[in-house]
């Protein structure tokens, strides 16, 4: 075991003391210390056994009382040595010595528990001083002054917790409750890609918006006779409008574009889609099979085979669910949004806007509905009541003239009992909002 500097210094002092006692006689053992060993410094507070006195006898007693160790004496190690020394004291000496001015239940200064408490107290004081010093940094001071100059930080208003409209569909796997919010968030971000320029018809030289209205009115009637799904009808008009906004079409091929759009949408949405021969039959054999298949290839290549687009149907079913609607209200909403499919001026509105305005119109038409647009509908649609006014007022005009002229398929369709005969309901008077 290597000797510590403290032990070497003590050995050196003992040799010098022997040399002084023998008064320089030759019998003394050579006590020459190594040249690289310096004399130990004075007491720095880490010597076990108390402070050494100036008395040589006291120094000698302290040296004898100091235990021999083979490691540096730290605070914790010194406390351990002090506790061992107290334990080794004779039993006739009192174990506890009360210091002057202390209570009888306190521990002596050399007790390990008291030393540990003192160390913890010093550490807590040092931590408090460090925390206070950090709190007085320049950044903290400038931040406090800025907050005072601005009147303090703005208080955060807690958002109102709205009830979940999917609580009853937790056990329905087809409702995908865990992902439905993300799905509709994706629809809102991508619906602009499915929209067409509101003036695209002005770039067509052979057709106009009246021809388009006649074609859509005919497609709605064909959709009804084939008993297709509602999703198919909205995708038909979307595919047709997107193709017409890109490609110039001759007048004699406009119906071919509509029929092919119906075939494409049926293949995408329906389980049992109409066959090509059925499409030829409803067109009174104006087009051949080769013409329809060639137009199908052309339209799909022009649109980049992009058929997964959000339509008004996707939004309207969600908004009706948020409105806690019944069958009659559902039919009213679909009636208003199908009126918009025929009119070219409604192309400028996004699918979510058309769906939200249709639900709003259905609520206004139901006399028993006290509140027209709730916070729940505002949350799921993303539109306030004032945002829907322009689109809703146009729907009122479309409803008023739905029985006039030649384009009355939507009105006749929703006069049937299986659709609730909602077309006979009087158009609502919308509130005047400031």
**CATH number, domain with residue 402:** 1.10.472.10
Encode pLDDT of 297-311 as tens digits: 999 999 999 999 999
Q: What confidence score (pLDDT) does residue 331 get?
A: 96
Rounded alpha-carbon distances, angstroms, from residue 320 to 49, 191, 245, 380, 392: 88, 19, 31, 10, 16
Q: Residue 137 has which token pair? A: 């940094």
pTM of the full structure? 0.64
Sign (positive/negative) of CA torsion 57, 63, 66, 72?
A: positive
DSSP per position, 288-308: -HHHHHHHHHHHHHHTTT---
Domain closes at, from 259, 289, 308: 308
Does residue 371 sit in the same domain as residue 236?
no
Place of tokens 């408090």: 128
The CA distance from 2 to 135, in Å, is 48
Residue 132 resides in a domain: no
Of residues 391, 393, 399, the one with CA closest to residue 349: 391
Cα of 123 vs its chain's centroid, Å: 41
Does residue 256 sit in the same domain as residue 315?
no
Domain closes at, from 244, 279, 308: 308
Does residue 181 sit in the same domain as residue 323?
yes
Domain closes at, from 308, 343, 377: 308
Residue 130 resides in a domain: no
Q: Which domain holds residue 74?
A: 1-16+27-49+67-78
The CA distance from 166 to 318, in Å, is 10
Residue 86 resides in a domain: no
Q: What confidence score (pLDDT) does residue 337 get?
A: 96
Query: Which are the contacts of 384, defined by CB distance < 8 A and separation ≥ 6?
Result: 373, 378
Residue 129 resides in a domain: no
Contact (CB, 8 A) for 309 and 264: no
Q: What confidence score (pLDDT) does residue 322 get?
A: 93
Does residue 191 sit in the same domain as residue 205?
no
Residue 298 resides in a domain: yes
Q: What confidence score (pLDDT) does residue 78 get?
A: 72
Residue 152 resides in a domain: no
DSSP single-letter state for residue 97: -
Q: What confidence score (pLDDT) does residue 430 get?
A: 76
Q: What residues in the chain have per-residue pLDDT under 50?
A: 1-2, 22-33, 47-54, 58, 61-64, 91-105, 135, 153, 434
The CA distance from 69 to 4, in Å, is 8
Residue 347 resides in a domain: yes
The CA distance from 38 to 352, in Å, is 90
Q: What confidence score (pLDDT) does residue 263 get?
A: 96
Q: What confidence score (pLDDT) does residue 44 get?
A: 52
Does residue 315 sit in the same domain as residue 422?
yes
Place of tokens 């009087």: 426
Number of H-type helices and E-type strands within the chain: 17, 0
Task: Give the angle subtended at the CA of 181 by the CAs of 175 and 183, to the nearest 5°.
Answer: 80
Of residues 63, 84, 81, the one with CA closest to residue 7: 63
Structural domains in the chain (count): 3
Does residue 250 sit in the same domain as residue 279?
yes
Does residue 401 sit in the same domain as residue 412?
yes
Q: Residue 73 has which token pair? A: 């004496």
Of residues 255, 277, 369, the one with CA closest to residue 323: 369
Residue 322 resides in a domain: yes
Does residue 182 sit in the same domain as residue 319?
yes
Does residue 372 sit in the same domain as residue 341?
yes
Does residue 9 sit in the same domain as residue 42?
yes
Tally of CA atoms within 13 A in the half-sphere of 3 that contains its CB: 10
Does residue 424 sit in the same domain as residue 396?
yes
Q: What confidence score (pLDDT) does residue 352 get?
A: 96
Does residue 207 sit in the same domain as residue 184?
no
Of residues 157, 143, 156, 77, the one with CA closest to residue 112: 77
Cα of 41 vs its chain's centroid, Å: 65
């Amino acid at each position: 075991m290597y000797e510590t500097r403290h032990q070497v210094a003590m050995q050196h002092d003992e040799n010098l003391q022997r040399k002084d006692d023998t008064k320089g006689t030759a019998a003394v053992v050579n006590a020459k210390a190594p040249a690289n060993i310096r004399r130990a410094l004075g007491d720095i507070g880490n010597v076990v056994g108390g402070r050494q006195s100036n008395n040589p006898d006291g120094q000698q007693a302290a040296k004898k009382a100091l235990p021999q160790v083979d490691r540096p004496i730290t605070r914790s190690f010194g406390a351990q040595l002090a506790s061992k020394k107290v334990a080794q004291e004779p039993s006739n000496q009192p174990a506890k010595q009360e210091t002057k001015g202390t209570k009888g239940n306190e521990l002596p200064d050399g007790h390990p528990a008291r030393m540990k408490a003192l160390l913890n107290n010093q550490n807590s004081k040092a931590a408090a001083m460090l925390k206070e010093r950090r709190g007085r940094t320049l950044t903290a001071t400038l931040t406090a002054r800025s907050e005072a100059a601005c009147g303090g930080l703005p208080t955060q208003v807690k958002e109102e917790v709205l009830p979940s409209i999917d609580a009853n569909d937790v056990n329905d796997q087809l409702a995908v409750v865990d992902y439905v919010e993300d799905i509709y968030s994706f629809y809102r971000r991508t619906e602009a890609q499915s929209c067409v320029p509101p003036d695209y018809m002005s770039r067509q030289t052979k057709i106009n918006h009246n021809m388009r209205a006649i074609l859509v009115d005919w497609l709605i009637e064909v959709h009804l006779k084939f008993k297709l799904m509602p999703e198919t009808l909205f995708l038909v008009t979307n595919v047709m409008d997107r193709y017409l906004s890109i490609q110039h079409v001759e007048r004699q091929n406009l119906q071919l574009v509509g029929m092919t759009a119906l075939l494409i949408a049926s293949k995408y949405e329906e389980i049992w889609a109409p066959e090509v021969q059925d499409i030829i039959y409803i067109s009174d054999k104006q087009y051949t099979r080769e013409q329809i298949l060639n137009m199908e290839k052309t339209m799909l290549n022009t649109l980049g085979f992009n058929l997964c687009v959000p339509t008004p149907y996707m939004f309207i079913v969600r908004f009706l669910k948020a409105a806690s609607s019944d069958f009659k209200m559902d039919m009213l909403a679909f009636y208003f949004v199908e009126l918009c499919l025929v009119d070219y001026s409604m192309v400028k509105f996004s699918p979510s806007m058309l769906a939200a305005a249709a639900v709003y119109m259905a609520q206004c038409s139901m006399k028993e509905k006290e509140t027209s647009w709730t916070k729940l509908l505002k949350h799921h649609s993303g539109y306030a009541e004032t945002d829907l006014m322009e689109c809703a007022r146009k729907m009122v005009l479309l409803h008023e003239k739905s029985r006039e002229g030649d384009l009355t398929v939507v009105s006749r369709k929703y006069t049937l009992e299986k659709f609730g005969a909602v077309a006979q309901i009087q158009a609502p008077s919308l509130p005047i909002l400031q």
